[in-house]
Structure 1
Amino acid sequence: MSLFSIPPHVPFLPALVEGVMDGRLLGGWAQSGPFWLSDVTIILPTQRARQALATAFSNHPGFVGLLPDIRTFGGDEADEEPFLPPFEAPPLPKATSRLERRMTLSHLVAGWAGTEAGRQAFATPPTAAEIFGMAEALGTLIDDLLIEERSAGDIRAVGAEMGPELGNYWQQTLTFLDIALRAWPDQQGEGRADAAALRRLRLDRQAMAAPLLFGDRPVIAAGSTGSIPATARLLAAIARLPRGVVVLPGLDTTLDGDAHAALLDPSNNPQGHPQYGLAHLLRDLGAGPAQVETLGPATHPRTQLVRLALALTADTADWARHRFAPEGLDAALDGVSIIAARTEDEEARAIALLARAALEESKTVGIVTPDRNLARRIAAELARFDIFVDDAAGVPLFHSPAGRLARQILQVAAGGCAAVDVMALLRNRGALVGRDRSTIAKLADDIELGLLRGQRLAPGLEGLRRSLEANLSRSTERVARRLSADDGAAIGALLDELSAALAPLLTLVKAADLDGPALAEGLWAAMEAISDGAPLRGKDELRDWAKAVADLANRGHRFVPVAMDAVLNALMEGVSVRNRLERRQDIAIWGQLEARLMSPDVMILAALNEDKWPGPADPGPWLSRGMRIKAGLEPPERQQGLAAHDFAQAMGNATVILAYAQRLGGSPALPSRLLQRLDAFIGEEAAKLMRQHGQRWLSDAQRIDAVDRVASAGRPAPNPPAAQRPRRISVTEVETLMRSPYDLYAKYVLGLRPLDALGEEPDARERGTVVHAIFARFVAEGHDPAGVDALDRLMEIARAEFAALEAVGERKELWLRRFSSAAEQFLAFETERAQRVRHRHAEVNGSWLLPMAEPVRIEGRADRVDELIDGTLEIMDFKTGSPPAPAAMRAFEAPQMPVEALIAQAGGMAGVAAAPSSALTYVKIALGPDAFRPSRFATPDAMDLMDAAEEIGRRLQGHVELFLLRDTPMPARLLPLRTQRFAGAYDHLARVAEWTSVDDGEDPS
């Protein structure tokens, strides 16, 4: 038996090539003739390693002729079958896809969740996405059983052995597993098998065929840890061949018998150790570390240090006597740096800068990360330097450009064509609907400004059509853009095509329930129509996925159409979009398995955070850790052992950068336990030094987007010519003039008007507007608040006014019921004061020409102006919000009501005789004890109401003279309102947040 190992500090593939070319791995096979290499077979774990080995052979100075026969373990059936000898063997079954299994198992899981036992197992009924996720986890458990060559009987044995120890949940779960695992083969159908089972069959067939296939020719199995029992059997079969050789990756050949035995002792919990898998493989091969020959130097300070740092827990007690001397530690850590970034964003940027510098020195760069999100971040950061590299694992279909468009299409349908969803779809560059992008962009602008902003739409696309009709017929005032007939025709055609494309999905989301095949079929039909003409990455994969799901009719769980985005994510699990473009060969982003045999000049290990590398030891939802062990399955720590092995292998490179983030998302994060072990072994000073080496890249990452000096924006104070300033302002803008003249500049000089929020729901403000209109109509129609039919008349008006809010839907009835209480309070309020009122006026328009050298008009509308018995007026403001603070009133900083009093005194209120006001009253519209409780305008001590109004009038004229009639700068937030907790309409334009701050103090009133 010929066993070799290539240690981490020796580049694996070049060493393997050298071992072949110098004959050490050939067992005396003749190296004569130009094509002798073609007689050699080499089997590797991955296709990437296969390609890299071919390149390594072609670069060897002694290479001539043909390459060896390079294969992969358990390769695709189409690749392997032609090479097998013609002995009697049954044809392999057809593979059951991961998607097909997930769909079928989801039906079983959902059925169980609906039983009494299933309901007891869940705190709340599982959602459709959770059921698909549990089905995927059940499929993973099936794979584990197949890989470890266990069966449903082993699960039943767990229940029999641990029954008294298990809680009710686990007992119910085991009962379901027994049923599901026994039913699954029948569910697959005859002639079908899981991919894991087929891989095992292929590996065993290769092992059986090896003596007939290879004879005495050289065959080398390299780079496998034999973690799969069938792979271990193939390795054993190859090792038994006359010239069969097994080359292990990174076996610690310095282990003595006791250390090797400790790795095989379950009581030591060795599964997380990097040598655990190799120790088991040697046991299966019937060998020990002493029987394995090393290719290249057996020891190296770096490799020795990493092995000591990652020792079994019990062996860490010996760290003190194994620590390196300072000079030895320097030699071991030469070339190792640590990037301790503050955030994932900073980590990605630092890695990109480091990689760019290495490429400029003509070095190759390998970036290894298990975190696909971080991989995409790094690729995006590299793209800013025109270095284009894709994650070798590809982009999940769900997050690909085609996947994003599909999600937006689904959201439009599920959300009833809500305004925000429609605009998000039309702004997606993949949504062309058979048009060019510029045409769609123009139509999107017209739809947003002409149909959506400020409008309250009826549900669905029909609401958009009604809004279009209203815009074209000029029957609505609150539109941001008036559309021409040609614009309307183009929008109408687009809406018709969108309606046709979305029709299948709209029907589905309105159904009581649906299944995955129906969803996929409807989604692809809509996708195909809407993306017509768009070269979207991932579109082909989306089509294939949709077809695969649609072909599984009646195989999956039926679910209620809610939380559709999560359901789509669950259905797309495991489908990736690979890059098809030619990329540079000197840099790559790999997963851990793909990087296992690679040796770039610069190796960067990213996402070295706990629960990232290694991942969490999660046994899944179906078995606990102890139950897995009882069933003969490896505990979840086994995957952590493989991650530790990958870490140890990568640490053997000459130049290694270890990167992690101190915060993940918004939460603090820990460095990986592997890195913590390394820090603990080498000591605080050495750990600090490695981080200092990486600080250069962090500093560059922090500086790359920094500026030398940050100059905050100053308070804007534009100074347009006085002739351009308004000569007509509303009564509500009087306070704006006093507090922020800049806002009047933006509105009247620049001609800017704030747009209503896209898709804004009818809210308290709109409800308040309707309530104002109801009270105004009641007064205008002359109804007697004390009449026996007053409440009926008021509610009749309310029903008519609320009916106009088509977009409110069912909320109209709720608002109407709430209004009935307010109606009674309103009538009681009016009845109580009726004896003082001679005549009521509602929604009174007013106008006042200021007595100034140049005419400036103040206009407005008062909620109520009541003529009182004593000949004076009472002006009322019905408010759904809070009235101004008394302190602001006394300081003449709440001018609206006093200015309305001046307008009334000057005879400017339509239909109201000129008269002074004896009361300015705020009335709060609400429910509860504070409703319709009047509050009077507060004046300074010993000052009459009209005297206070005259003082405000004098101040108003001063502001008009200064800011409207002269060439005086118009500053923003001249007198800010301390209690304001929302942004003003023009605060963003004025960049207020950059030059001001607001105290969190209480208003002194």
Structure 2
Amino acid sequence: MARPGSISSIAPHAPFLPTLADALVSGTILPNWRREGPFWLSDMTIYLPTRRAATRLSRLIAERLGDQPMLLPDIRPLGGEDPAQEPFLPPYEPITLPPPINRFKRRLLLAELVEKWLATQRGATAFSAPGLGGHSGPPNSAEILALADTLGTLIDDFAIARIEPSRLAEIDDAQLAGQFQANLDFVSFVLGAWPSILEAEGEMEAASRTNALLERKAASLSTVHGDRPVIVAGSTGSIPTTADLIAAIADLPNGAVVLAGLDTTMDVSTAEILRDPRKNPHGHPQYGLIRLLRRLGTPPEAVIELAQAPSPRTDSLNAALGLPDATADWARFAADRAKDLSMAANDLSLLRAKTPEEEARAIALCVHDALAKHLSVAIIAPDQTLARRICAELARFDIALDDAAGTPLTRSRAGRLVRQAVTVLANGLDPVDLMALLRNRHVTVGLGRAVVAPAAESLEMGALRGQRPLPGFDGLRRAIADNLEKRTPYPAQRLNAESATEALALLDAIEAALEPLSSLLAGPFSASGLATAIAETMERLRLQGPDETIAALEGEDELDRWLELAQSQGDRGPRFAPSGLALALEGLMAGPSVRPRRPDAEDVVLFGRLEARLMGADRMILAGMTESVWPEIADPGPWMSRGMRLAVGLEPPEKLHGLAAHDFLMAAGTGEVVFTLPERSGTAPATPSRLIQRIEALLGDALTKDMEARGGHFVDQARRLDATGVPPRPAGRPAPNPPASVRPRSLSITEAETLLRSPYDIYARYVLGLRRIDPLGADPDYAERGNLIHDILGDFIHNGHDPLARNAFAIIMDLAHGHYARLDALPSRRDLWLKRFEAIAEAFLEFERQRTHIAIRRAEVSGKIELPFDSALFTLRGRADRIDRGVLGTLEIIDFKTGQAPQPKEMKQFFAPQLPLEAKMAELGAFGPDLAHRTEAMSFIKLSHGPEALKPTRFAAADGMSLGDMVEETFARFQRHVEVMLLRDGLPMPARVLPKASQRFKGDYDHLARTEEWTLLDVGEDES
């Protein structure tokens, strides 16, 4: 039973630490303690939840003392000190406790147990690991480590609650699902064996160690402090040993307890409901405090309120966050206290942004506005991703923010370099991953960035774009050799001897640097083995080049500490499969963070929820007010259900909701408060926090709209921040008009149609000299598949193979395997395309066998003709898929299509000039004297594996015209178009003059022409 008058509270509307400092100096707390001389404060011992709060309280007390010479009280963070720092306390003998087990070591030990247990579960036909969404199959490395972490949290829960593992036997497993029955057996085994495992390690659980220290402190309070004052402030006593210590302090002759935010006006019925856990009051903000008061034997009405006067804000918040049954009284509360509600909402703002990015930008503007008004600002952001976004946005205004959480080690520059190195090997030298590593400015590999950067450029353009290297470093070396020897058909850049040598030297250096990590791919590896390989790889990647100074790497010190810790673990932990290399790294490096240098100014700070309970500011920004963030998800974990936890005496997960609601109450109680939330999170709508929904429901629509208007001011500023101030004006279709002297004097036959439909593409390609570069690491598409098929069929005919031969199919498939070898890095895609090509090959051979009238077959034949004009010569060049000469001497021209052939209407209107121009070139001898004949047939043939495979589509001549007339007219039109568009000045070259309605893909230059800004193409039914 606490001593009467020893329990007090500070309401949310009063700043906690300043009010506490005032009460200490004025004597409101412990009024009977003598206040004479310079030492009366130094006799006091004050316990606070955090070190930052202790530092702030010291400063506040010093400010209130002014010039008085005075020793300050002993202010300590609430928790057990190290036994080595305790004074000699007769009759309490000094104790020696084992050191607490490192959380990384614990993760490995538990992961090893989890892995072995899961291995015993895999014999079941429907194996499903707990908490993994019911997915069948064994969990990967990251999931095993995540399960180990949740198991460690469960061990902490038992230790903190001081519940013996034997209580698990009280659970009626007959009522459990099969998976939870298996989980219960495993959890019972682990909790029973864990003390022996810790003893063998010479360590103990950190929670158990803290319990022992707090229990010793509680037992020794009267001996250590005697009649001197001891005060504990700001704690909710959610940990049982902390509640015992608070109770022991309250029993001291001069002990005092100062609670945070207790509702001293609470009625008896509400207090009774909060005392009864069977009524599920765990999500109420007062639940933890009422539970603590029950431990202290003190009713709420006996607690002394230290705040100066009642506040409409506090009353309104308490009403909004009340028990579910109390919501029925909201209408009456709003009617009776309309003026109080209006006063409570005066300094509240609600900032609704569309996205988290916009939310962070608006928060930064809100901070900037406060600092401009000389106000202090505190931001509470439980979502660490949002916190980092806010820091980035504040950098716009050169505002440094003290983020206590820091940057996760894996997201620091050092961690990013490690992830890039591991990802390159885990993904089999994927081009995107490899270039990401080589583009990292901290990668020097003993050559220096002055050598690495241009060599990486040569490697990218010469081996990774425009072709598909074979797997491994040897495949990249072969790709460079093929490029140098011009065996690569479509390179993005031709390499010379010097650039090829530099690229090969870089490959050698990067392969040697990654060798320690690549050696892990030979078999299962341990955490310490991975750490050793990472340390060696990092040293080689950052090996200093000649006359080069290595730049500092953010997070390097933290990475070194993590590597040293991981290397010291020996064989502890599970064995990770080589296929899970990247996942193992992500799981093992989870936890450590990199703290930036703490800024000198503290006008703006970023708090966690616990710190915000005590620390105030002129403007409080409560960020990320969405469900699953504030409050977090009440997840019981994968090992025990909610009912199982209650059965053994553990608190339900909803306890977290009560703590979140209490922290919200304290943060929103005083001064100017801004609530922020996004409307969307990722691709899904974001649900506003239940705490915000309750406040909106109590205040009503009018006051809520006023709150949104105040917050909307910053959202509007955020949306206008990057605007130019000039209303956007749509740009028209680009129509460049270069002089004829720089326009091309040569086109291919396929570009004849381009000249008709989109002259801008000719301008971009030839005048600007721009060429499309294949995306890095893109999956093969239908265009690449079409090129492969054309090359195979072309080689078959070009090499003189006879379609009538018995082994023709075997020959064509041998060619196919050679061409499809460029897809060896994508075996599933290669095998699928090869299987489909078999049907095309059979249909192709059958098609050729039926063409007995053909005397000469020519495939992929190239040629050109020079056309004389008054101002210049013009060259028409091209390569025909197939030109066959019949026994009667006439030609048949075939264009094989893996896509769609032109529509008959397009042919008749001269919008498909390719085949007629090929016919004219052949007649003029462009493809050789044996093909210098008249064309009597032109066809498009569909290459597919379906029923329409190799079905010809005859070229459709315009009405009233023969095929020969069509060839001559197309050639004449082409010459006139060339003369007007390319050989004369004055005519612009606009984009998409005659776009194809059936075209479903974007052109190579559409983004430069900004076609989506000014076009609206009506796509109707296909015309025939």
TM interval, shorter chain, is: over 0.9
Counterpart residue number, 1:309: 320
Deviations 1:25-44 (A, max 9, x none): 24533333334322221111
Pair 1:810–1:175, CA change in 2 (3 A): closer
Deviations 1:786-818 (A, max 9, x none): 233433444454455556777666866665554
Structure 2 distance, partners of 1:348, 1:280, is: 37
Contact 1:73–1:203 (Cα < 8 Å) also in 2:
no
Structure 1 distance, partners of 2:70, 2:38, is: 5
Equivalent residue runs for 1:335-374 within 5 Å = 335-374=347-386
- TM-score normalised to structure 2 length: 0.93
Pair 1:998–1:51, CA change in 2 (3 A): farther
Structure 1 distance, partners of 2:270, 2:1017, is: 67
Contact 1:516–1:550 (Cα < 8 Å) also in 2:
yes
Deviation at 1:903, TM superposition (A): 1.1
Deviation at 1:855, TM superposition (A): 1.8
Pair 1:118–1:8, CA change in 2 (3 A): farther
Q: Are positions 1:973 and 2:985 aligned together? A: no
Equivalent residue runs for 1:367-382 within 5 Å = 367-382=379-394
What do you get for the CA RMSD once the two structures are aligned?
2.4
Structure 2 distance, partners of 1:804, 1:152, is: 60
Counterpart residue number, 2:570: 553
Structure 1 distance, partners of 2:306, 2:199, is: 49
Pair 1:713–1:511, CA change in 2 (3 A): farther
Between 121-130 and 860-869, report the one with greater CA deviation: 121-130
Contact 1:7–1:298 (Cα < 8 Å) also in 2:
no
Between 765-774 and 337-346, report the one with greater CA deviation: 765-774
Pair 1:61–1:839, CA change in 2 (3 A): same
Structure 1 distance, partners of 2:359, 2:518, is: 43
Structure 2 distance, partners of 1:1000, 1:364, is: 59
Counterpart residue number, 1:90: 95
- Secondary structure at the aligned position of 1:849 is classed as strand
Deviation at 1:997, TM superposition (A): 3.4
Equivalent residue runs for 1:140-179 within 5 Å = 140-158=153-171, 162-179=172-189
Unaligned runs of 5+ in 2: 129-133, 544-549
Matched letter for residue 788 of structure 1? R
Q: Are positions 1:3 and 2:27 aligned together? A: no
Contact 2:330–2:698 (Cα < 8 Å) also in 1:
yes
Pair 1:911–1:154, CA change in 2 (3 A): farther
Matched letter for residue 45 of structure 2? T
Which of the residues 319, 322, 344 maps onto 1:332? 344
Contact 1:85–1:209 (Cα < 8 Å) also in 2:
no
Structure 2 distance, partners of 1:36, 1:267, is: 47
Counterpart residue number, 1:606: 623
Deviations 1:155-196 (A, max 9, x none): 2211xxx33322212212111211122122223333311111
Counterpart residue number, 1:131: 144
Deviations 1:447-466 (A, max 9, x none): 32233222332222333333
Counterpart residue number, 2:16: 12
Contact 1:433–1:529 (Cα < 8 Å) also in 2:
yes
Q: Are positions 1:208 and 2:192 aligned together? A: no
Structure 2 distance, partners of 1:838, 1:881, is: 28
Matched letter for residue 505 of structure 1? L
Which of the residues 587, 598, 606 maps onto 1:589? 606
Deviation at 1:584, TM superposition (A): 2.3
Contact 2:140–2:583 (Cα < 8 Å) also in 1:
no
Q: Are positions 1:755 and 2:767 aligned together? A: no
Equivalent residue runs for 1:64-79 within 5 Å = 64-75=69-80, 77=82
Structure 2 distance, partners of 1:311, 1:803, is: 69
Deviation at 1:223, TM superposition (A): 0.7
- Secondary structure at the aligned position of 1:829 is classed as helix
Deviations 1:228-282 (A, max 9, x none): 0000011111112221111111111112333221211123211000000000101
Matched letter for residue 765 of structure 2? K
Structure 2 distance, partners of 1:364, 1:841, is: 82
Q: Are positions 1:448 and 2:460 aligned together? A: yes
Deviations 1:723-747 (A, max 9, x none): 1111111111111111111111122
Matched letter for residue 838 of structure 1? A
Counterpart residue number, 1:223: 234
Matched letter for residue 245 of structure 1? A
Equivalent residue runs for 1:670-681 within 5 Å = 670-681=687-698
Contact 1:27–1:243 (Cα < 8 Å) also in 2:
no
- Secondary structure at the aligned position of 2:610 is classed as coil
Contact 2:890–2:933 (Cα < 8 Å) also in 1:
yes
Counterpart residue number, 1:982: 1001
Equivalent residue runs for 1:704-853 within 5 Å = 704-707=721-724, 708-761=726-779, 764-799=782-817, 801-802=819-820, 816=834, 818-834=836-852, 836-850=853-867, 852-853=869-870
Contact 1:504–1:522 (Cα < 8 Å) also in 2:
yes
Structure 1 distance, partners of 2:800, 2:455, is: 48
Which of the residues 675, 678, 702 maps onto 2:719? 702
Which of the residues 387, 390, 395 maps onto 2:407? 395
Structure 2 distance, partners of 1:551, 1:290, is: 56
Pair 1:672–1:777, CA change in 2 (3 A): closer
Counterpart residue number, 2:952: 934
Structure 1 distance, partners of 2:730, 2:1008, is: 14
Which of the residues 655, 680, 689 maps onto 1:638? 655
Matched letter for residue 980 of structure 1? Q
Pair 1:808–1:599, CA change in 2 (3 A): closer
Pair 1:906–1:78, CA change in 2 (3 A): farther
Deviation at 1:486, TM superposition (A): 5.2
Counterpart residue number, 2:264: 253
Deviations 1:648-684 (A, max 9, x none): 1111111111111121111112211111111111222
- Secondary structure at the aligned position of 1:656 is classed as strand
Deviation at 1:222, TM superposition (A): 0.8
Between 737-746 and 581-590, report the one with greater CA deviation: 581-590
Q: Are positions 1:100 and 2:113 aligned together? A: no
Between 25-34 and 4-13, report the one with greater CA deviation: 25-34
Structure 1 distance, partners of 2:628, 2:155, is: 24
Q: Are positions 1:431 and 2:448 aligned together? A: no
Deviation at 1:866, TM superposition (A): 0.9
Matched letter for residue 947 of structure 2? P
Pair 1:85–1:310, CA change in 2 (3 A): farther
Counterpart residue number, 2:537: 526
Contact 1:25–1:220 (Cα < 8 Å) also in 2:
no
Deviations 1:541-568 (A, max 9, x none): 2222222223223222223233544432
Contact 1:34–1:65 (Cα < 8 Å) also in 2:
yes
Matched letter for residue 618 of structure 2? D
- TM-score normalised to structure 1 length: 0.95
Structure 2 distance, partners of 1:784, 1:439, is: 52
Which of the residues 909, 925, 940 maps onto 1:907? 925
Matched letter for residue 614 of structure 1? P
Structure 2 distance, partners of 1:861, 1:987, is: 25
Matched letter for residue 944 of structure 1? S
Contact 1:35–1:65 (Cα < 8 Å) also in 2:
yes
Pair 1:811–1:399, CA change in 2 (3 A): same
Q: Are positions 1:267 and 2:286 aligned together? A: no
Pair 1:314–1:800, CA change in 2 (3 A): closer
Pair 1:367–1:802, CA change in 2 (3 A): closer
Matched letter for residue 774 of structure 1? I
Deviation at 1:118, TM superposition (A): 7.7
Structure 2 distance, partners of 1:90, 1:103, is: 29
Contact 1:845–1:910 (Cα < 8 Å) also in 2:
no
Matched letter for residue 832 of structure 1? Q
Pair 1:84–1:594, CA change in 2 (3 A): farther
Equivalent residue runs for 1:532-547 within 5 Å = 532=543, 533-547=550-564
Matched letter for residue 305 of structure 1? S
Between 299-308 and 423-432, report the one with greater CA deviation: 423-432
Counterpart residue number, 2:973: 955
Structure 2 distance, partners of 1:300, 1:615, is: 29
Matched letter for residue 863 of structure 1? D
